[in-house]
């Protein structure tokens, strides 16, 4: 996600090494102009399974929308 011409955010899910049901989210802000990065972390959640499922649903919707466009362009 772009917050500006040279500011981009990447997110990810992180999983506790010793307990796979626990995890947290990370949001990294990259400043391409100043060439810096800052990683922010959410509080931990014991509900990583559902957080993962939600992320999956969001990504599936993301790709589904783009596949529709791709098919339209190719037809």
Partner 1 sequence: MADASRVGSSLGDGSALRVSRRLFIAGTRLGFIAALLVTAACGRRAPPVRTGAASDSLRVVAAAESALVAGASKLQWWVDRWSRFVPGFTLDSLQPARVGRLANPEGRVTSQWWQGELDRELFGESSPESGFIAHPDLARTYGGGGVELSPEPDSWAVLIDTKTDSVPLSSDAALCACSSGPCGWAPAS
List contacts with partner 1 (CB under 8 A): 1-17, 23-32, 34-43, 45, 47-48, 50-52, 54-56, 58-60, 62-63, 66-67, 69-71, 73
Q: Which of 50, 47, 52 is nearest to 11 (CA)?
A: 52
Question: Least Å distance between CB 49 and partner 1?
Answer: 10
Backbone torsions φ then ψ of 35, nearest 5 degrees:
55, 50
Question: Least Å distance between CB 17 and partner 1?
Answer: 5
Question: Least Å distance between CB 21 and partner 1?
Answer: 12
Furthest C-alpha separation in the chain: 49
């Amino acid at each position: 996600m772009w917050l500006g011409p040279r500011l981009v955010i990447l997110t990810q899910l992180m999983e506790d090494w010793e307990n796979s049901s626990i995890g947290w989210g990370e949001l990294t802000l990259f400043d391409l102009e100043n060439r810096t990065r800052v990683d922010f972390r959410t509080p931990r959640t014991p509900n990583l399974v559902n957080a993962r499922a939600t992320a999956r649903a969001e990504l599936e919707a993301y790709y589904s929308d783009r596949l529709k466009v791709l098919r339209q362009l190719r037809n």
